[in-house]
A and B are shown apart, each in its own frame.
Chain A
């Protein structure tokens, strides 16, 4: 059974993607894609229910797995090299050439033991698989409706939808492979596969801006891939194995961790930082916002960027208790507060979401750097719930942009009258990022509890996280208020036509965000806590701290009940407000209400509409200056991280 599930998760999407790409038929795609993602989701949930497992992969359709690996891990960088050559980017070509050299060297040193490739899934992997398949699946269904409208507006000469969906399906398969495999060579293969998919999807619209942003993403991710290859070379040389489990076991068994031992992990950190768009590499993620929104939702918030944090989380016990770990934590916290500062000055909704994603990834990395059971629990919770909420928010913004033609928050004023369902779902999405008892808040709570017990460099990390947390409230509330702003007592919504797939995906994601938050105690108990405690215990770290604080998580149920009751009461009270209670907003006695617009009686008795805009504080949070400052400081961090070891 497990074999079947794993096949569905990893191999099936590649096959389906190939079919979709080769047979470029619309009706076939409309059936095949939903069936594939449904199968993947069912398989992932099946795996999750089955629990942690171990699988050895010796043959792939008759061919020895090692040969497949060698073939693919040479072919993939060659593909990227070709892309770099076609685009004339020497940076990409140079980095990929170095990668190929590294891989060749890896081959040459020879697989002296050549253990079979293993799929070792613990709670963390299973949870990531579920997120990738379920959230990714829903976003793919959303993309079906979205891309129809997208293509009808952009009108490419030949429909690019087959290519799009093929790439998305391959990406989902690659992500599953990344989180399930134990052998680092396979992980690297899937890592680079996601890089390639990211490039293809960012460049989807084929405009000059899209192409240049895609190249920027490509070279930064390939740089990370190069760091990954270097790490693999070092690990092979010093430890003689490339199985993640083995590596961790051997490193944690050492009493003293020398520079040579820690250096590969520093390189893995570098790889993770580029994949997760930490400063100073955040520009690729912001540039990737030119892609169609399903791409942003899927790759650049819910799944691909989480791959970096997943890798770090996996490798974290190896460098627990070292100075390197502290620097990683400080770096993550600094990214968190810096990205939040950048997000405050954003008016473009997608860029705001991008910066918020970077910030949350920084918070996850800070938790990883603190390297205790409590912080690893917090990091996992944030990974999971952030994926759901952010995917939902990106999907809403995409839908809104297609309807009103703008991503500007100021243009989303009073959106509830124009798009009642989407605006409500978006407001709920924002609230799930912000309020108890929802999952993100649980994660933030666990994070602060973990940081408070950290043994190294706690005050500055806590200071950064506290400030960043307050900044998030600022920009989320500001946006949420814009949706419901209206001078009318009750909006008379005139919902326009909405694609059924888009609506279904939005509602499903919203329901998932709400219900999944309620299930947080169950999720923690079943998946996260066992995996985390085992990871830290198995690898010899003293699990001194309980994974969950003593107060437990029962409050989630209590708060949810109270919130539901209060919300129901509040809704009833709002409905009971009689129409005659309506009065215009106060405008010094000169208010005039003309339909949907509020205004006042101005000079010559003319109607002057009230123009209200959020304050973005650009004089204080100037994007260019902040980005420069942050890039400088973070580069210094990275130099200290790697150079300090050398």
Chain B
């Protein structure tokens, strides 16, 4: 009993390191794409170390439990994925983390934090149905929502769910806070909303949220990798390929408004992608 727990914890720590490394690669690649040099790859770890060393600066003490519970939820979701658990459960636990984070932002009467929280709620409104539909697509291919059952399949899932993969990319863009959907908490948007959702989280609590973001990155890229589970190379290529595609998209697009997201690139259009795929799987 204890060995799996220790193993899972070790994997979580490894995942946090990987997530941070991915964040560093992200910043460096972005810089190179912008003809700059960019920070060292280990920069996110330095950032988190610095944040952990800051004195706490708190407006409303409720922010502290919210930050801790966000990290706990994301860690639990990743742990469930690592143990081969239920995909829907992962989604709901991840959503719980997002709910805590948003509630923390709402508990401070700051206009920027409030604005960012509402934008974040709208982003959640858009990406949650997509994830439910994509996971159902996986379930239709394998017969159950369990991740362990995915690995028992003989053939990779991607050829049967290409449109679902595109929809998953859309959800990935939103969760990784990439342009054009980074209007809730982007560090680059500070003329508009300071730091949005994360404005009032400071010091060690921001560090906790950063670590949660790393874990979430690894989790979502892991889900992307699930679609070609038959070979390790395939998984790596899918995960890294999606990540690189996100970085490219981030640098190629401008930030859009939530009205544009809801109306044009709306959940209906993208849910249309996922739904069409599901129909195809369903009929076939």
Q: CB of A570 within 8 A of chain B?
A: yes
Q: CB of B160 within 8 A of chain A?
A: no
Nearest first, the 4 closest Cβ-Cβ pairs linking A and B are A481-B106, A570-B65, A585-B110, A466-B129
- Say which residue of B60, B76, B108, B133 sits within 8 Å of A559 (CB atoms): B76
- Assess the B60–A474 pair: CB atoms within 8 A: no
Q: CB of B88 within 8 A of chain A?
A: yes
Q: Report Cα–Cα, A556/B115, bound state, in Å.
A: 34
CB-nearest residue of chain A relative to B96?
Answer: A435
CB-nearest residue of chain B relative to A413?
Answer: B109
Query: What are 18 A-B pairs with beta-carbon distances under 8 A?
Result: A413-B109, A435-B92, A436-B89, A448-B136, A452-B136, A458-B278, A465-B132, A473-B121, A478-B121, A484-B62, A485-B60, A549-B86, A550-B146, A566-B69, A574-B62, A581-B56, A598-B109, A620-B262
- Assess the B118–A614 pair: CB atoms within 8 A: yes
- Assess the B109–A486 pair: CB atoms within 8 A: yes
Q: Which residues of A contact B112 (CB under 8 A)?
A: 586
- Assess the A581–B55 pair: CB atoms within 8 A: yes
CB-nearest residue of chain A relative to B112?
Answer: A586
Beta-carbon contacts under 8 Å, A475-512 to B = 476-478, 480-482, 484-490
Beta-carbon contacts under 8 Å, A452-476 to B = 452, 458-460, 462-463, 465-467, 469-471, 473-474, 476
- Assess the A473–B95 pair: CB atoms within 8 A: yes
CB-nearest residue of chain A relative to B92?
Answer: A436
Q: Report Cα–Cα, A581/B68, bound state, in Å.
A: 18
Q: Report Cα–Cα, A481/B103, bound state, in Å.
A: 5
- Assess the A585–B86 pair: CB atoms within 8 A: no
Q: CB of B52 within 8 A of chain A?
A: no
- Assess the B129–A467 pair: CB atoms within 8 A: yes
- Contact (A574, B111) CB under 8 Å given A441-B92, A463-B129, A614-B118: no
- Contact (A463, B64) CB under 8 Å given A481-B106, A585-B59: no
Q: Which residues of B contact A246 (CB under 8 A)?
A: none
- Contact (A489, B61) CB under 8 Å given A551-B85, A570-B69, A598-B109: yes
- Assess the B136–A462 pair: CB atoms within 8 A: yes
Q: CB of B57 within 8 A of chain A?
A: yes
Beta-carbon contacts under 8 Å, B52-106 to A = 55-62, 64-66, 68-69, 72, 76, 80, 85-86, 88-89, 92-93, 95-96, 99, 102-103, 105-106
Size category of the binding interface on chain A? 35 or more
- Say which residue of B88, B114, B139 sits within 8 Å of A612 (CB atoms): B114
- Contact (A470, B114) CB under 8 Å given A566-B72, A586-B199: no
- Assess the A436–B93 pair: CB atoms within 8 A: yes
Q: Report Cα–Cα, A582/B96, bound state, in Å.
A: 27
- Contact (A477, B199) CB under 8 Å given A436-B89, A485-B109, A549-B86: no
Q: Which residues of B contact A463 (CB under 8 A)?
A: 129, 133, 271, 275
Q: Report Cα–Cα, A587/B96, bound state, in Å.
A: 29
Q: Give 6 new A-B contacts, CB below 8 A, not counting A485-B107, A585-B59.
A: A441-B92, A452-B136, A474-B125, A477-B99, A571-B65, A585-B108
A321-344: CB near B (< 8 Å → 1, else 0) gives 000000000000000000000000
- Assess the B58–A587 pair: CB atoms within 8 A: no
In angstroms, how far is the closest chain A Cβ from the Cβ of B52? 13
Q: CB of B225 within 8 A of chain A?
A: no
Q: Report Cα–Cα, A448/B117, bound state, in Å.
A: 27
Which of A460, A478, A566, A569 gathers the greatest number of chain B CB atoms within 10 Å? A566
In angstroms, how far is the closest chain B Cβ from the Cβ of A473? 6
- Assess the B278–A477 pair: CB atoms within 8 A: no
- Assess the B144–A550 pair: CB atoms within 8 A: yes
- Say which residue of B124, B139, B275 sits within 8 Å of A470 (CB atoms): B124
In angstroms, how far is the closest chain A Cβ from the Cβ of B231? 26
Beta-carbon contacts under 8 Å, B100-158 to A = 102-103, 105-114, 117-118, 121-122, 124-126, 128-129, 132-133, 136, 139-140, 144-146
- Assess the A481–B133 pair: CB atoms within 8 A: no
Q: Report Cα–Cα, A413/B66, bound state, in Å.
A: 18
Q: CB of B267 within 8 A of chain A?
A: yes
- Assess the A486–B89 pair: CB atoms within 8 A: no
Q: CB of B279 within 8 A of chain A?
A: yes
Q: CB of A434 within 8 A of chain B?
A: yes
- Contact (A481, B60) CB under 8 Å given A435-B96, A585-B108: no
Q: Which residues of B contact A469 (CB under 8 A)?
A: 128-129, 132
Q: CB of A562 within 8 A of chain B?
A: yes
Q: CB of A404 within 8 A of chain B?
A: no
